[in-house]
Structure 1
């Protein structure tokens, strides 16, 4: 027998957990369905641009997010959603282990960075291998850094890093430099920037941290000393699950308005899965709050009750013990 919720949130990173905190505080019965907790934030051991924390690891920060949501009654199901379909009065969400229903769905499953798929990449994630120049670039100030990728994603990342690092290597597999022409010309004029075209990264070197990369060219292989590798191959929005329910843009992101509402009544979206620019933990968390308050108001309007634009209330927590849960890094 399906269990009925007010809100089901799909995704357990900063957007989903922030949304869960807000819906639970509004006394909405909330379920978060996610394979694991943390998302891309787990790829870094040092977040220095989240307000209130001078320096905090992604694992620690997202643990705090989850703990706070659970204090207000959020439930968690560690599973993968197989389908979302319309049902009487709302939606049915089927995962591998359960089937649940809700009046409102919040999509918060983020985007997945494209991997290089080379030796050393998985082992050194968070130890010099990064997928976010804005997030992790300041950690490598005055060091040697390599950006890998063709096109604008890589060039934008390189432009940001160029003023921070001592040496910047841009590795592209194409013979001709690809990317925004004006930005490329600006990078070419910098003494600390070197383009390495017609090359691919064959292996990332290092044990406890990145020490270099092995490059493959048409003439053979050679090594390049570097302290970090920023993989800028773009992101994959795994939105096949909802392509028949909501509008997607040309790169598969969910289109939302300023209230985080999608084109499907009763479905909201927040975080990196949306077409909102600037993929950052703090932005995703803020969007999660917007989506949650919008979901609350949607339910209130359906029931003919007053809506709300804020959440300033003090909610008494009956039991403030630390909940028994495990935060998975997998």
Structure 2
């Protein structure tokens, strides 16, 4: 017999844990599923300085605080990688690599992952000068030189943001012009703290005593190679939603993001989605938490409607 719950939350990052808190506090039976430890990307963040209530807190510590809060009203937690979801209407089946569950409602909170460069030094120096989030980590590079890799909206907007903190921002782009919106380009070109290196790719991130010491770049037109000294590297070459298991539900756009309304509802009744798995501008703990609160209350309302419909019949 499959275990049965009112709500299954897929993903135990800040959004998923908030959704579990709200749903379980409404006296629903809740299961949080995650393929790893609770906290998601917070566990890879050394220091968090922009979450209200804490002047500064280590990512793993905030994860633990949120987990204890999210399970205080009875929400359960289990490991498992979701293989498939089948929608039977009022009941949905969630199959993982370890177990099968039945539930009335699902909240998808699997998040996204940054597309990697694949350059030597990137993985080894992640969190030690290599970052994918200027809002998260920019403050660690005050009055320093940073390299931004990319030429789209995110790269240039984050580069502009970094000029408020860093002494110099060098943008390395593999094309001869930016892909960002023109208004963003204009702001960047007018900023005297920003410089641009065109038709070039970062082929290595240099290690200086276990922290970023610079980058090695190659011009893809001439083949010329050179080194740039820098204290940090911010990489913006795309973000990938973690939605492979939901392809059959008809809730994704052509890029793989889950489509929802402002109540976090998908076009499948009883299936909600929150946080970075949605196509959104600001991917932060605070925005994920906001989504989670809305969805946690939303599943309560949905299940109450199911009860009312059954009573009416």
TM over 0.5: yes
- Corresponding residue number in structure 2 for 1:252: 256
- Corresponding residue number in structure 2 for 1:28: 28
Whether the 8 Å CA contact 1:146–1:226 is kept in 2: the answer is yes
- Corresponding residue number in structure 1 for 2:218: 216
Matches within 5 A, 1:7-86: 7-36=7-36, 37-86=38-87
Whether the 8 Å CA contact 2:19–2:296 is kept in 1: the answer is yes
Shift of 1:246: 4.0
In structure 2, stretches of 5+ residues that fail to align are: none
Whether the 8 Å CA contact 2:30–2:76 is kept in 1: the answer is yes
Is the alpha carbon distance of 1:246 and 1:16 closer, same or farther for their aligned partners in structure 2, counting shifts above 3 Å? farther
Whether the 8 Å CA contact 1:249–1:275 is kept in 2: the answer is no
Q: Segments of 4+ in structure 1 off by > 6 A?
A: none
* CA-based RMSD: 1.7
Whether the 8 Å CA contact 1:153–1:232 is kept in 2: the answer is yes
Matches within 5 A, 1:1-330: 1-36=1-36, 37-87=38-88, 89-206=90-207, 207-217=209-219, 218-304=222-308
Shift of 1:247: 2.9
2:62 aligned counterpart, secondary structure: helix
In structure 1, stretches of 5+ residues that fail to align are: 306-330
Shift of 1:248: 2.5
d(CA) in 2 for partners of 1:190 and 1:88?
A: 54
Shift of 1:304: 2.6
Shift of 1:227: 1.1
- Give a deviation string over 1:166-208, Cα, whole Å, max 9, x none: 0100011113333222322322233221101111111112243
Shift of 1:7: 0.6
- Corresponding residue number in structure 2 for 1:312: none
Shift of 1:88: 6.2
Whether the 8 Å CA contact 1:145–1:168 is kept in 2: the answer is yes
d(CA) in 1 for partners of 2:15 and 2:147?
A: 30
d(CA) in 2 for partners of 1:83 and 1:59?
A: 29
Whether the 8 Å CA contact 1:147–1:158 is kept in 2: the answer is yes
d(CA) in 1 for partners of 2:51 and 2:246?
A: 30
What TM-score do the two structures reach when normalised by structure 1?
0.87
Shift of 1:25: 1.5
The total of aligned residue pairs comes to 305
d(CA) in 2 for partners of 1:74 and 1:201?
A: 45
d(CA) in 1 for partners of 2:5 and 2:278?
A: 24
d(CA) in 2 for partners of 1:290 and 1:251?
A: 24
d(CA) in 2 for partners of 1:50 and 1:269?
A: 22
Whether the 8 Å CA contact 2:90–2:306 is kept in 1: the answer is no
